[in-house]
Structure 1
Amino acid sequence: MKIGLIGDSLTEGRPGVSFYKILKVKYPNEIFIYLGKPGETVKSLYNRLSKTTLDTDFDLIFLWIGVNDVYSKLLKVQAQPVSNNREEFKDYYKRIIEWIKAYSKKVIVVTPALVGEKMDSPSNMEIKELAKMIDLIASSYMDISVLDMQQIFSKHLANLACSDYISTNVMTIMKDALFVKKIPRIDKLSKERGLYFTLDGVHMNSKGAEIVADAYSSVIDLIVSNQTIAVQ
């Protein structure tokens, strides 16, 4: 099976721990093509994809985008253009879906997960609204399914005393990406910051990456089993 992973730094797996590498180990016989790029927003991702051509034989493509449309507002420097309002976000998100649909038999849209581990923060309230919008967008397509990562992490964090730590200094984020690469070091720094599933409030530590990989795996396993039944 040929699987595409499209998104931002969470898909690239830097900074933090890569869920993509976990999937590659778990599914050695599947072909993974990943198109993750740090800092991507819905606008910048669409601009990048519109200049890209893929093979048209993907069995499955995951789209995970949207967190930087919230997170980048907290940063002093915005590397990519951010949607001016919900309607613009919706418009670009739909354009991305239409682009992806031309290349894959099945498309899964993944909601942004979190900006900070306090799920009742203003940023996470905004993430929750984007998740609802993405779910609504997906419902207008017969062949698009939703993986609600926001809800998954909300459940994991529900009964925990969460730190309000979020990396908002661009230099700190760059240092984490360049120098904090080994998983034990990532997890140690995450713990020092009082975080459970992320390195910096956004990017995954090993536990967070496992949660994401498990969520993606649940979709992959379902599609593989359906293909097996169809062949039989």
Structure 2
Amino acid sequence: MKIGLIGDSLTEGRPGVSFVSFLQKKFPNYRFDNLGKPGETVKSLHTRLTNSPLQKNYDLTFLWIGVNDVYSKLLKIQSQPVVKDHDEFKDYYRNILNNITSSSRYTIAVSPAIIGEDLDNEFNLELRDLSYIIQFITGKHSSIHFLDMNEVFLQLLSTGDRSNFINTSILNIMKDALFYKSPPRIDHLSFKRGLRYTIDGIHLNSHGATIVAEKYGAYIEELLQL
């Protein structure tokens, strides 16, 4: 079986802990193509897939994109272009899905998760809007399933203490990727920042990566009938 994983740095697995490595351990006989790219937005992903189309023989493809269309607005440097409004997001996302579905037997559209572990900040409210848009688009396709990762983390963070830490420095993000590579060190940094599932409010620590791998794994088992 061949599975495509399309997305941004969360899919690539840097900085933070790679959920893809957990999937590879759980499904050793499956091939996982990690097509995550740091800083990717729906606009830049559309360009990438247009210039370099997917191979035509994926059994299952996950699309996890959208967080940088909000998060990049907090950064001093935007590495990739972002959409101007939700209507443009919808158009680009729909075109990306059309590209992917022609190359894959099944497609899972994953909503962006969180920006900061404070559920009430304005960035998470905007991500919720993007999740509704993605859910609306996927509801029109029988071969596309919707995984609401935003809701998953909102439920997990609905109880207990929450930190409002969000890393908005490109330099510090690069330092995290360079100096914090092992899960124990990453989890210790999360603890120091008061974070439960992320290293910086966006990228995953081992607890967050485990949750994402479990959600992805459930779809793999269901759709590919292990």
- The bucket for the TM-score relative to the shorter chain is over 0.9
Residue 55 of structure 1 and its aligned partner are, at CA, apart by 2.3
Deviations 1:25-50 (A, max 9, x none): 00001111110000000000111111
Q: Which residue of 2 aligns with 1:76?
A: 76
Farther-moved stretch of structure 1 (176-185 vs 187-196): 176-185
Aligned counterparts of 1:224 and 1:74: Cα–Cα separation in 2? 39
Residue 217 of structure 1 and its aligned partner are, at CA, apart by 0.6
Residue 140 of structure 1 and its aligned partner are, at CA, apart by 1.6
Equivalent pairs: percent with the same residue?
A: 53
Aligned counterparts of 2:35 and 2:126: Cα–Cα separation in 1? 25
Q: Which residue of 2 aligns with 1:19?
A: 19
Q: Which residue of 2 aligns with 1:213?
A: 213
Deviations 1:86-135 (A, max 9, x none): 01000100110011011101000000000000111100000111001100
| Letter paired with 1:66 | G
Aligned counterparts of 2:161 and 2:140: Cα–Cα separation in 1? 38
Deviations 1:141-176 (A, max 9, x none): 121110010010011111021000000011000111
Aligned counterparts of 2:79 and 2:148: Cα–Cα separation in 1? 26
Q: Which residue of 2 aligns with 1:58?
A: 58
SS of residue matched to 1:29: coil
Is residue 35 of structure 2 the alignment partner of residue 35 of structure 1? yes
Q: Which residue of 1 aligns with 2:176?
A: 176
Q: Which residue of 2 aligns with 1:115?
A: 115
SS of residue matched to 2:58: coil
Aligned counterparts of 1:65 and 1:54: Cα–Cα separation in 2? 16
Report the TM-score, using the length of structure 1 for normalisation: 0.96
Residue 53 of structure 1 and its aligned partner are, at CA, apart by 3.0
Aligned counterparts of 1:41 and 1:57: Cα–Cα separation in 2? 25
Aligned counterparts of 2:66 and 2:55: Cα–Cα separation in 1? 25
Report the TM-score, using the length of structure 2 for normalisation: 0.98
| Letter paired with 2:91 | D
SS of residue matched to 2:54: coil
Decide whether the 8 Å contact of 2:54 with 2:100 is kept in 1: no
Aligned counterparts of 2:55 and 2:47: Cα–Cα separation in 1? 18
Residue 179 of structure 1 and its aligned partner are, at CA, apart by 1.6
| Letter paired with 2:214 | D
SS of residue matched to 2:224: helix
Aligned counterparts of 1:113 and 1:178: Cα–Cα separation in 2? 23
| Letter paired with 2:34 | Y
| Letter paired with 1:146 | F
CA 1:143 to 1:224, structure 2 compared with 1: closer, same or farther past 3 Å?
Answer: closer
Alignment RMSD, CA only? Answer: 0.8
Residue 56 of structure 1 and its aligned partner are, at CA, apart by 1.0
Aligned counterparts of 2:55 and 2:87: Cα–Cα separation in 1? 30
Structure 2's unaligned 5+ residue stretches are none
| Letter paired with 1:178 | L
Decide whether the 8 Å contact of 2:112 with 2:131 is kept in 1: yes
Decide whether the 8 Å contact of 2:15 with 2:181 is kept in 1: yes
Q: Which residue of 2 aligns with 1:143?
A: 143
Q: Which residue of 1 aligns with 2:192?
A: 192
Aligned residues: 226
